[in-house]
Amino acid sequence: MRPDVDLPGLDEIVLEESFVLGIRAEPGVVIFKMEYALTEKHPAYAPPPPSERECLRRGVLRFVAVETLVWDKQGAPVATDASGEPDYGHID
């Protein structure tokens, strides 16, 4: 897995393999509820169970001081994953 090293604080997280579980926009703030795919160098990494490919951990990704937000397809139906949770896909 290749981490997104060009984003400070995310150097041991692979966003392309992580899942967006929720999105919330407030004035000046955008918050993503995430299930992160971690690299082996991340301090919270543990070998994944046999049924998984990556070590996944939940958390949030918060952008503050947002001045402009363009959100295409806002309000579109959300997919549901195998466990029945909302799944907004990956961050590309």
Given a cut of 70, whether residue 89 has pLDDT beyond it is yes
Give pLDDT, residue 6: 66
pLDDT digits (tens, 9 = 90+) for 40-51: 999 999 999 999
**Which residue has tokens 């400070």?**
8
Half-sphere exposure of 12 (CA within 13 A, CB side): 12
Domain ranges in the chain?
Answer: 1-67
Q: Give 43 or 71, the one with higher predicted confidence.
A: 43
Strand partners, 20: 34
The rounded distance, in Å, linking the Cα atoms of 7 and 11 is: 7
